[in-house]
């Protein structure tokens, strides 16, 4: 039997969960959230949108298929969503030290250790999830020694997008059409999917004045945290809206575009994180199962009169996308690039590029 | 927030559907079992909710779907185009549902479509169109259809004769797999390593199906399934995916299956999901569908194995595994709803358009009963042999699989700490899996095999093997402890406690832990008590979790529950108001206990609820209606072991527990629950013990002056011979079940007795043998009744068509009895009243009698509902379980004022056998049960009911040629009249040596055919192979080897070549008389409520 060191997860409401450590032995704090996907831990851990958060996986058996190699194609990682683990910690129930997969190179625990991120197993993750559902997402910390080993860290207090975004412009020349990708913490699968459409992709930092580029299309990526930190990006977007070039946004991109279009955003009680979120195209009988990861949502009430809701969440009625009534501007709250999750809405990338 | 998503109005449902016909699946058989009662019941519920008038055709009288109020009209008729057309002509439904009655309903529907019947009567098929069904059923069409969208299928060649089969195999390269098109559960399928093997299999497969498929074998690939739902607006979801523990090569019905998949990465999971959706859209499914893949363990390469365009065993499993009611939703989609119109039936607030997120793992394990058959091969492979299955839920694989191995109910306690398994060649047993495969793995680990070695031999994914190995290491750690070194009086023993916690999280039962500690010196009950109380002192108790479809993201409104040690808090609150009643279910379907006890359980639950108590169910069979969370206030999908039942009782604090409606499993818990002061509702545990304990029961009968066949429990061969000398042959011999698992048998002479006892291994003090006098040519009579405080309230006497010697579960039963002396009936009633009084029965019970020359003897008495309760309840139209439940709840009941003698009609219960799936098994009936299901049909007279029932279990009226091989003199004489009748009706009789001579001597012309070993023409085997015979009557004479061989070959060929076979003279005579007196056309098309 494996001897794992005892470790505790302490929530800001004082609840203590006793578990065992299978990752790095490092105290850490962040916002505790849960994800209900049954597969995709490699993708989630490297998803920049989790910056500042401690991730709880509701599926209890984790680590089964290990962790793939960090190989690259065209300078882009083949299997991960960024170049590092973004979560502050990982909470699971039943961790599999032994993994079995043709593609795996190391165990999940080893990877967490290699990247200095704590992993906690043997936690009643269902109980923890119910607490978060009822009380709302809250801060928490993973400690090994005394309770004050680390202070509670609130990701709200900082601009997480700035941390997750690239520092300088990166170009991928795979075609002639110029697409500017505003990187608020972009997942690599978005980059892969756009490149697949043969475009000249120009990835710029979140606060970059992209209006100076003569682009054919503008893409605003996903990203972590509160969209209110990205006023600069929203300002830039307002200018872009004066033009007629196609704009497509995902997740944070939807929130920023909505803000530029007049709407507000607000924090959801516990967010949408999972691979089974149902959305319906407004005014139609067409529905999609989508992958999601966001703690904030768009309040459509103040959306400009030129705009309309595009998609809606079928479980709780929250906004899942907006579009301009006459111009080629649209955005979705969910993740058409999947990774992890269902691939049903991948067609957006093709549709977007066809508009250019 | 916006309310734009709230469905404003149903999106144009099919308002034109007013009256719909639903086809059931008939009798339970291997490959088609209780899952279709569940799916049909759900579909009927969905239709009724929409105000659609429902008509159901299903001769399976023991099902829940054929209960009052389930459909508007119920026909107990065969699900064949002939009868379905007649019902359509009479009822004129506007719609028909084909997807809820398994392959039987689907095949019938396709034929009705091809014959133009549906068009003729303007009946619309709801849900998936027939063309789409045909596209998935016909392999060639299927491959073509999938080629259109570039899907990889298993390269296969469809052939229609033997030479083409061999040629195709040569081209593909051996090993190949053979499949029959249009077949249930892989009937006639198998692997062939060379032309010889192929020849044998292909010949047989071609007898079932006009077309067979030869494919390249992909042994060792993973097998993955997806359950997909699509609505008519093209919205698609996959409700669940499943991974087979056993790699490709073992039929999914024979595999251990887990949900969700465990070894697929995100990319693999979603790749296969995406393909499944693309396939389902392309084929045009509306409703539910199952896609099966072979998946390369070394890359992302795949092949689509098959698509089932209907509800299936897997979909029932997926429904139970996720809480997503697939059949219910599929029926609604068939009516024209969109998925977005429907609500998630667990949360009742979120949408039904979503994909369940599980926060647990389920493990399905098949249940085999191969020990019940003589001659059958125990290897498992591409054809299904299992008769039932269980589903275990846990929050670790170790926990779920250990639970599951206990649930299977074959004397195993989990993966370890079982009775030592004797295996000669472990390598071979790993390479060529049998029904014991999982225990062979356990044994191999103990013998020092490594994970890699076992993987090489089994191709089971190392992840699963690793988890199993964890269980082994925990067992070994536990075994290092001696109970002497653990102070159970203290409140802690740190080292042991940590291990104990781990063991419980890995699903170890108290029994397993005790055996690991105390080893051979274990006293089951005492040690387990010590451990249990120690554990509770430490707070090592399971907690209760909800299955909520969304992994706790939204609150659940239903109480679909399981217990786990991998958690620290219960999801539900306990009131402790003693207002709940726990009903214990019947566990895995097996030979001898199946859907009839599900009907009993469901009716007990409904009555409990109606009488103002909260109903609580414990059961773990995914094929049942009783494990539908809508059926009760709380469903514990968990074990029926003493340990787990006590866990739940301690949490629930119920008013009481009902253990008399779920067959023998709950009944066996009576004494131990009583010892724990559990309030057992109804008859007391002491009385149950007095009836179950052979000695106590026998002396009670003696003191009441009630006659019984003489019997003795004997511990030496000498004693046996002495007893036989006293009572004379024949005798019924029951070896100790624990020892050999061998069936009981009738022995007619010394040689047979000697042979049989050799099979039954050692006779000793520890393993005695029960020998009883066997009374020949006696009638067997069932007395099903309900009593209140020792007074019989209601009873049903039914009579076997066959003489005693055929197990009551295999016998054909007539109710009310048609040929019983009034005096016999009177005696039966009198004796039953005496027994009811003596045992102070309150609740359901059953007594079996032997009657000969007006002498009545008691065989046995069960103080619980019997297999025939639904049958007699439905024929009598008095629900005996409702009555019994009221009695058990202490509610005043009146004696129903109705008697079987008032009935103007007859019910016949006939048995369904699945010998065709059990290669090499001798299809002969005996004192041990071998049928897998039954039907119950009603007619205005005996002949009509008999004929309908026989047609319902797959017999057909012979066209012209009947083969007689009628065994002993007595049965030759018995069948003379039948033979004469056949001759008069213009049938050609063929008969083997003695039978032919006898017939001709008695003036019935018959052509002589030679025995199989005579090598002369016309030969019985040859005629069967050439399909020149329409009915075979073969009555086995005795157990002498030569006789056995010839008879066996005739019987087995009949089964293998799909020729109707009868092996009992009384049944043969009843059937022959029935079809000679009336035609199929004379069978009146009357629904259940038309019999008054």
Catalytic residue among A43, A81, A300, A337: A337
C-alpha B891/C-alpha B788 separation (Å) is 10
C-alpha A171/C-alpha A181 separation (Å) is 10
**Confidence class of residue B15 from pLDDT cuts 50, 70 and 90?**
low
State pLDDT tens for residues B1001-1020. Answer: 999 999 999 999 888 889 99
Extended beta strands in B302-445, E state? 302-308, 361-367, 388-394
Highest mean pLDDT among B151-160, B442-451, B915-924: B442-451
| Residue A337 falls in the annotated catalytic set | yes
C-alpha A79/C-alpha B267 separation (Å) is 9
> Chain B contacts of A263, Cβ < 8 Å?
none
Checking if the pLDDT of B147 tops 90, the result is yes
Compute the half-sphere exposure of residue A197: CA atoms within 13 Å on the CB side of its CA. Answer: 24
The reported pTM is: 0.94
3-state secondary structure of B25: coil
B6-10, B340-344, B841-845, B1004-1008: which has the minimum mean pLDDT? B6-10
**Confidence class of residue B561 from pLDDT cuts 50, 70 and 90?**
very high
Catalytic residue among A86, A229, A272, A335: A335
Residues in chain B: 1092
Q: Check: CB of residue B257 under 8 Å from CB of residue B364.
A: yes
Nearest to B502 among A1, A79, A338 (CB): A1
Extended beta strands in A107-255, E state? 119-121, 138-143, 170-173, 178-183, 200-205, 217-220, 247-250
Contacts of B484 (CB under 8 A, 6+ apart): none
Phi-psi region of B1007 (alpha: psi -120 to 50; beta: other; left: phi over 0): beta
State pLDDT tens for residues B220-236. Answer: 899 999 999 999 999 99
Nearest to B396 among A61, A126, A278 (CB): A61
Structure token digits, residue B301 = 């390469």
Instruction: Tell me whether strands B53-57 and B19-23 are parallel, antiparallel or unpaired.
Output: parallel
Q: Do B551 and A316 touch (CB under 8 A)?
A: no
Nearest residue in B to A44, CA atom:
B266
Q: Which residue of B3, B4, B247, B400 to mutate against A (max A Cβ within 10 Å)?
A: B4
Closest Cα in chain B, distance from residue A231 (Å): 23
**Confidence class of residue B1080 from pLDDT cuts 50, 70 and 90?**
very high
Closest Cα in chain B, distance from residue A103 (Å): 8
Per-residue pLDDT at B41: 96
Highest mean pLDDT among B743-752, B770-779, B1067-1076: B1067-1076
Contacts of B338 (CB under 8 A, 6+ apart): A285, A287, B11, B231, B232, B233, B235, B353
Contacts of B499 (CB under 8 A, 6+ apart): B474, B477, B478, B481
Q: How many residue contacts between A and B have a Cβ separation below 8 Å?
A: 197
User: Which residue in B802, B791, B810, B792 sits closest to B867, CA to CA?
Assistant: B810
Q: Do A124 and B358 touch (CB under 8 A)?
A: no
User: b/e per residue, A253-291, with b = 16+ CB within 10 A?
Assistant: bbbbbbbbbebbbeeeebbbbbbbbbbbebeebebbbbb
Q: Do A36 and B264 touch (CB under 8 A)?
A: no
**How does DSSP assign B45-112, residue by residue?**
HHHHHTT-EEEEE---TTSSTTSBTTBSEEE----SHHHHHHHHHHH--SEEE-TTSHHHHHHHHHHH
Closest Cα in chain A, distance from residue B561 (Å): 13
Q: Check: CB of residue A223 under 8 Å from CB of residue A193.
A: no
Per-residue pLDDT at B56: 98
A-proximal residues of B, 550-569, CB under 8 Å: 550-555, 566-569
Over pLDDT 90: what percentage of chain B?
Answer: 75
Per-residue pLDDT at B133: 93
> Chain B contacts of A291, Cβ < 8 Å?
none
B396 touches chain A (CB under 8 A): yes
Compute the half-sphere exposure of residue B832: CA atoms within 13 Å on the CB side of its CA. Answer: 28
User: Which residue in A184, A273, A274 sits closest to A225, CA to CA?
Assistant: A184
Q: Do B2 and A341 touch (CB under 8 A)?
A: no
Query: What Å distances lie between residue A279 and A290, A344, B349, B801, B1029, CA to CA?
Result: 7, 11, 15, 61, 61
| Residue A174 falls in the annotated catalytic set | no
Q: What is the mean pLDDT of residues B51-66?
A: 97
Contacts of A348 (CB under 8 A, 6+ apart): A248, A332, A336
Q: Do A317 and B3 touch (CB under 8 A)?
A: yes
B237 touches chain A (CB under 8 A): yes
B4 touches chain A (CB under 8 A): yes
B28-37, B765-774, B914-923: which has the minimum mean pLDDT? B765-774
Q: Which residue of A18, A34, A38, A66 to mutate against B (max B Cβ within 10 Å)?
A: A38
**Confidence class of residue B1044 from pLDDT cuts 50, 70 and 90?**
low
Contacts of B583 (CB under 8 A, 6+ apart): B601, B604, B605, B608, B615, B616, B617, B618, B626, B632, B657, B658, B661, B662
Nearest residue in A to B237, CA atom:
A289
Catalytic residue among A43, A230, A251, A320: A251
Q: What is the mean pLDDT of residues B84-108?
A: 97
Per-residue pLDDT at A154: 95
Closest Cα in chain B, distance from residue A300 (Å): 7
| Residue A251 falls in the annotated catalytic set | yes
Taking every pair of Cα atoms in chain B, the longest distance, rounded to a whole number of angstroms, is 92
User: Which residue in B307, B318, B309 sits closest to B356, CA to CA?
Assistant: B318
> Chain A contacts of B502, Cβ < 8 Å?
1
Per-residue pLDDT at B185: 52
User: Which residue in B543, B544, B542 sits closest to B556, CA to CA?
Assistant: B544
Q: Do A317 and B5 touch (CB under 8 A)?
A: yes
Q: Which residue of B3, B259, B266, B276 to mutate against A (max A Cβ within 10 Å)?
A: B266
| Average pLDDT per consecutive 10 residues, chain A (356 residues; last block may be shorter) | 84 97 97 97 97 97 96 93 97 97 97 98 98 94 94 94 96 96 97 96 97 97 96 97 97 97 95 96 97 96 95 96 97 96 96 96
Q: Do A314 and B550 touch (CB under 8 A)?
A: no
Contacts of B214 (CB under 8 A, 6+ apart): B156, B157, B159, B165, B168, B169, B172, B176, B177, B178, B198, B202
B356 touches chain A (CB under 8 A): yes
3-state secondary structure of B501: helix
B175 backbone dihedrals φ, ψ, rounded to 5° = -75, 150
Q: Check: CB of residue B572 under 8 Å from CB of residue B580.
A: no
Q: How far is CA B503 from the centre of its chain?
A: 32
State pLDDT tens for residues B581-599. Answer: 999 999 999 998 999 999 9
B2 touches chain A (CB under 8 A): yes
Closest Cα in chain B, distance from residue A322 (Å): 13
Checking if the pLDDT of B765 tops 70, the result is no
Q: Check: CB of residue B1047 under 8 Å from CB of residue B965.
A: yes
Nearest residue in A to B355, CA atom:
A276
Q: Which residue of A42, A57, A64, A92 to mutate against B (max B Cβ within 10 Å)?
A: A64
Q: What is the mean pLDDT of residues B550-566?
A: 95
Q: What is the mean pLDDT of residues B788-807?
A: 95
Q: Which residue of A41, A133, A274, A289 to mutate against B (max B Cβ within 10 Å)?
A: A289
- Residue where the block lists tokens 């023409």: B1017
**Confidence class of residue B490 from pLDDT cuts 50, 70 and 90?**
confident
Nearest residue in A to B238, CA atom:
A289
Query: Looking at the DSSP assignment, which residues form a beta bridge with residue A289?
Result: A278
C-alpha B580/C-alpha B262 separation (Å) is 37
Q: Do A100 and B466 touch (CB under 8 A)?
A: yes
Q: How far is CA A20 from the centre of its chain?
A: 27
> Chain A contacts of B358, Cβ < 8 Å?
38, 59
């Amino acid at each position: 039997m494996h001897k794992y060191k005892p470790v505790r997860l302490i929530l800001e409401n004082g609840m203590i969960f006793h578990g065992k450590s299978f990752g790095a032995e490092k105290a850490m704090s962040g916002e505790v959230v849960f994800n209900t996907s049954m597969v995709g831990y490699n993708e989630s851990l490297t998803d920049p949108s989790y910056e500042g958060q401690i991730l709880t996986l509701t599926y209890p058996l984790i680590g089964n298929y290990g962790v793939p190699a960090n190989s690259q194609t065209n300078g882009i990682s083949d299997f991960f969503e960024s170049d590092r683990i973004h979560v502050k910690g990982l909470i699971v129930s039943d961790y599999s030290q032994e993994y079995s997969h043709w593609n795996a190179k190391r165990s999940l625990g080893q990877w967490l250790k290699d990247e200095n991120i704590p992993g906690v197993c043997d936690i009643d993750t269902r109980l923890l999830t119910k607490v978060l559902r009822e009380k709302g997402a809250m801060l928490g910390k993973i400690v090994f020694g005394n309770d004050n080993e680390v202070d509670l860290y609130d990701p709200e207090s900082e601009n997480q997008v700035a941390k997750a975004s690239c520092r300088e412009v990166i170009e991928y020349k795979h075609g002639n059409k110029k697409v500017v990708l505003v990187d608020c913490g972009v997942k690599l699968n978005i980059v892969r999917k756009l490149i697949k459409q043969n475009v000249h992709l120009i990835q710029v930092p979140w606060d970059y004045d992209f209006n100076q580029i003569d682009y054919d299309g503008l893409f605003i990526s996903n990203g972590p945290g509160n969209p209110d930190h990205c006023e600069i990006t929203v300002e830039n977007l307002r200018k872009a809206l004066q033009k007629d070039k196609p704009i497509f946004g995902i997740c944070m991109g939807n929130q920023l575009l909505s803000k530029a279009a007049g709407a507000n955003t607000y924090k959801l009680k516990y967010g949408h994180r999972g691979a089974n979120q149902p959305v319906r195209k407004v005014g139609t009988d067409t529905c999609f199962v989508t992958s999601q990861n966001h703690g904030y949502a768009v309040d459509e009430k103040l959306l400009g009169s030129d705009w309309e809701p595009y998609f809606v969440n079928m479980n709780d009625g929250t906004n899942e996308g907006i579009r301009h009534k006459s111009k080629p501007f649209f955005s979705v709250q969910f993740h058409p690039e999947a990774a992890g999750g269902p691939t049903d809405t991948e067609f957006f990338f093709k549709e977007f590029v066809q508009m250019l | 927030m916006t309310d734009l998503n709230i469905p404003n109005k149903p999106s144009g449902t099919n308002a034109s559907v007013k009256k719909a016909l639903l086809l059931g699946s008939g009798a339970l058989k291997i490959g088609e079992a209780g899952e279709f009662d569940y799916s049909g019941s759900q579909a009927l519920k969905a239709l009724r909710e929409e105000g659609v008038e429902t008509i159901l055709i299903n001769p399976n009288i023991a099902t829940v779907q054929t209960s009052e109020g389930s459909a508007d009209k119920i026909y107990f008729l065969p699900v064949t185009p002939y009868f379905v057309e007649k019902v359509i002509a009479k009822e004129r439904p506007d719609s028909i549902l084909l997807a809820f009655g398994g392959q039987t309903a689907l095949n019938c529907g396709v034929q009705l479509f091809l014959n133009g019947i549906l068009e003729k009567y303007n009946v619309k098929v709801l849900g998936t169109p027939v063309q789409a069904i045909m596209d998935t059923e016909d392999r060639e069409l299927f491959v073509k259809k999938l080629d259109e969208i570039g899907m990889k299928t298993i390269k296969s060649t469809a052939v229609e004769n033997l030479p083409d089969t061999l040629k195709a195999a040569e081209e593909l390269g051996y090993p190949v797999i053979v499949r029959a098109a249009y077949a249930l559960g892989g009937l006639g399928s198998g692997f062939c390593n060379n032309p010889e093997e192929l020849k044998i299999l292909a010949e047989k497969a071609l007898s079932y199906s006009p077309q067979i498929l030869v494919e390249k074998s992909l042994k060792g690939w993973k097998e993955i399934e997806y359950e997909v739902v699509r609505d008519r607006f093209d919205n698609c979801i996959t409700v669940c995916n499943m991974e087979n523990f056993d790699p490709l090569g073992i039929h999914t019905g024979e595999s251990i299956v887990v949900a969700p998949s465990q070894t697929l990465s995100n990319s693999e999971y979603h790749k296969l999901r995406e393909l499944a959706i693309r396939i389902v859209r392309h084929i045009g499914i509306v409703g539910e569908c199952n896609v099966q893949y072979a998946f390369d363990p070394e890359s992302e390469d795949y092949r689509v194995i098959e698509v089932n365009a209907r509800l299936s065993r897997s979909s029932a499993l997926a429904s139970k595994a996720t809480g997503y009611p697939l059949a219910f939703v599929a029926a609604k989609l068939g009516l024209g709803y969109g998925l977005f119109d429907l609500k998630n039936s667990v949360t009742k607030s979120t949408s039904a358009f979503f994909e369940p997120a599980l926060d647990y793992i389920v493990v399905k394990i098949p249940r085999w009963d191969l020990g019940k058959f003589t001659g059958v091969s125990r290897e498992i492979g591409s054809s299904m042999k299992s008769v039932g299955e269980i589903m275990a839920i846990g929050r670790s694989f170790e926990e779920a699989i250990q639970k599951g191995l206990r649930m299977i109910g074959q004397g195993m306690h989990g993966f370890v700490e079982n009775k030592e398994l004797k295996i000669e060649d472990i390598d071979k047993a790993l390479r060529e899996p049998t029904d014991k495969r999982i225990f062979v793995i356990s044994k191999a680990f103990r013998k020092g095999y490594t994970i890699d070695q076992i993987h090489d031999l089994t191709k089971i994914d190392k992840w699963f093997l690793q988890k199993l190995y964890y269980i082994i290491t925990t067992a070994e750690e536990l075994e290092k402890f001696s109970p002497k070194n653990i102070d159970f009086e203290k409140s802690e023993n740190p080292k042991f406690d940590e291990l104990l916690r781990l063991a419980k999280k890995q699903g170890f039962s108290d029994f397993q832990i005790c055996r690991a500690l105390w080893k051979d010196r274990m006293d089951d009950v005492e040690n387990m008590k010590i451990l249990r109380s120690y554990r509770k002192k430490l707070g090592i108790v399971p907690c209760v979790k909800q299955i909520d479809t969304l992994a706790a993201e939204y609150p659940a409104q239903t109480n679909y529950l399981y217990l786990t040690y991998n958690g620290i808090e219960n999801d539900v609150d306990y009131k402790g108001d003693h207002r709940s009643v726990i009903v214990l279910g019947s566990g895995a379907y097996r030979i001898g206990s199946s859907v009839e006890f599900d009907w009993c359980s469901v009716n007990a639950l409904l009555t409990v609820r109606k009488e103002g108590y909260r109903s609580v169910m414990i059961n773990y069979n995914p094929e049942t209606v009783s494990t539908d969370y809508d059926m009760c206030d709380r469903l514990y999908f968990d074990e029926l072991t003493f340990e787990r039942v006590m866990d739940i009782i301690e949490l629930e604090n119920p008013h009481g527990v009902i253990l008399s409606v779920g067959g023998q499993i709950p009944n066996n818990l009576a004494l131990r629950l009583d010892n724990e002061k559990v309030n057992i509702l109804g008859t007391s545990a002491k009385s149950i013990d007095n009836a179950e304990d052979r000695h106590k029961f026998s002396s009670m009968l003696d003191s009441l002056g009630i006659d019984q066949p003489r019997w003795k429990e004997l511990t030496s061969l000498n004693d046996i011979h002495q007893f036989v000398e006293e009572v004379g042959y024949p005798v019924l011999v029951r070896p100790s079940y624990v020892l050999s698992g061998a069936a009981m048998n009738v022995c007619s002479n010394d040689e047979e007795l000697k042979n049989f006892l050799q099979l039954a291994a050692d006779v000793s003090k520890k393993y005695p043998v029960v020998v009883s006098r066997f009374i020949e040519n006696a009638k067997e009579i069932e007395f099903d009744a309900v009593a209140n405080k020792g007074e019989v309230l209601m009873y049903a006497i039914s009579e076997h068509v066959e003489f005693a010697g055929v197990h009551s579960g295999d016998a054909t039963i007539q109710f009310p009895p048609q040929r019983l002396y009034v005096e016999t009936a009177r005696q039966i009633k009198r004796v039953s009243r005496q027994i009811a009084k003596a045992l102070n029965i309150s609740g359901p019970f059953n007594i079996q009698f032997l009657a000969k020359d007006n002498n009545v003897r008691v065989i046995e008495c069960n103080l619980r509902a019997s297999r025939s309760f639904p049958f007699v309840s439905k024929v009598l139209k008095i629900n005996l379980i409702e009555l019994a439940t009221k009695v058990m709840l202490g509610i005043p009941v009146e004696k129903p004022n109705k008697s079987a003698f008032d009935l103007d009609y007859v019910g016949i219960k006939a048995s369904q056998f699945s010998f065709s799936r059990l290669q090499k098994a001798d299809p002969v009936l005996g004192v041990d049960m071998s049928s897998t299901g039954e039907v119950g049909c009603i007619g205005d007279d005996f002949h009509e009911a008999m004929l309908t029932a026989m047609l319902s279990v797959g017999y057909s009226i012979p066209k012209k040629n009947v083969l007689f091989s009628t065994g002993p003199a007595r049965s030759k004489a018995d069948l003379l009249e039948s033979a004469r009748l056949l001759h008069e009706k213009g049938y050609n009789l063929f008969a083997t040596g003695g039978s032919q001579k006898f017939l001709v001597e008695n003036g019935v012309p018959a052509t002589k055919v030679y025995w199989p070993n005579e090598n002369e023409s016309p030969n019985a085997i040859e005629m069967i192979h050439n399909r020149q015979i329409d009915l075979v009557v073969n009555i086995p004479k005795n157990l002498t080897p030569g006789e056995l061989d010839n008879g066996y070959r005739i019987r087995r060929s009949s089964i293998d070549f799909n020729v109707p076979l009868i092996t009992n003279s009384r049944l043969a005579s009843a059937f022959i008389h029935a079809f000679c007196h009336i035609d199929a056309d004379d069978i009146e098309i009357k629904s259940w409520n038309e019999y008054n």
